[in-house]
Amino acid sequence: MPDHSHANFVQIVDAKLHNLKNISVQFPRGAVVAFTGVSGSGKSSLAFGTIHGEAQRRYLESVAPFARRLIGSAVDPQVEIVDGMPPTVALEQRTSAGGARSDVGTITALSNSIRLLFSRAGVHPDEILDDAHGIAGGRLTAGHFSPYTAEGMCPDCQGVGKQFDPAEERMVPDPNMSILDGAIAAWPGAWLGKNFREILETVGVDTTAPWHSLDKTTRDWILYTDETPVITVVPIREAWRTQGPYEGQWESVARYLRRTVVTTKSDTNRARALSFF
């Protein structure tokens, strides 16, 4: 039987769910407790199936029968006694490949509810209600509290929390090389890098000249402009390849690097982009 003299402890008696073989355990409340063991020893069965399963069963007993059908059935914890247990919340075990803007709130989706709460229940400043900032309807929406939306993210850091300023000497480590020979080391490989080069050739940039021989205005535009024009490119290909025109969108080297840092889910691509800052 559980020891009721220890009110600050949770006591489990004869847990036998899955791999648990009549396990009895006691652990303190209000503390960080870890269950350890080899794979298949019953850690998840004890934490999720037994402890949370029993808490869920008790909760379902407290709601009306029609509401139980909406919530779903609880797992049978298969335990003799659970004593001293408060209400529980279980976080699903999963692996998440978050981006540069990810945090606990976005990975657990808790921020969705918080953003909605701020937009609906928050007190809007007078200047917002007067539409001084050009906000449609004079009210902030949930999107204004998200680093993933254009209206919510910081325009300087794009929601990352840190401003990245790539240096020319890193993006173009050898100014004696031409663009055609690979002077812009920060450009992506494969088709996208070729697309950027063909756009420059289309707008009249000499990609065969050494980088340092290009005028500063041209170099700065290639590296730093925020303009993203769509250019009709007519590529020069080998005779046996298709040579039809296509619409290519220009993006400066710095803009490409910042976008990669913020949006990519590849640790390798992010590390490569960060190496140019």
The pLDDT-based confidence of 237 (bands split at 50, 70, 90) is low
Question: 27 vs 90, which has greater pLDDT?
Answer: 27
Q: Residue 25 class from Cβ within 10 Å (0-12 exposed, 13-18 middle, 19+ buried)?
A: middle
- Given a cut of 90, is residue 214 above it in pLDDT? yes
Give the pLDDT confidence score for residue 59 in this predicted structure. Answer: 82
Q: Are 108 and 76 in contact (CB under 8 A)?
A: no
* pLDDT single digits (tens) 30-85: 889 999 989 888 888 888 888 888 888 888 888 777 766 766 666 788 888 888 88
Q: Are 51 and 78 in contact (CB under 8 A)?
A: no
Residue located via tokens 């690097």: 257
| Angstrom distance (rounded) from CA 76 to CA 53 | 7
User: What domains lie within the chain, and their CATH numbers?
Assistant: 9-83 (no CATH), 104-145 (no CATH), 168-274 (1.10.8.280)
Give the pLDDT confidence score for residue 134 in this predicted structure. Answer: 46
Which H/E stretch holds residue 170? helix 168-171
- Given a cut of 90, is residue 88 above it in pLDDT? no
Q: What are phi and psi of 80, to 5 degrees?
A: -75, -50
- Given a cut of 90, is residue 105 above it in pLDDT? no
Instruction: Name the token pair of 260.
Output: 């990669």
Does the pTM surpass 0.75? The reply is: no
The identity of residue 86, as a single letter, is P
Closest CA to 180 of 208, 215, 142: 208
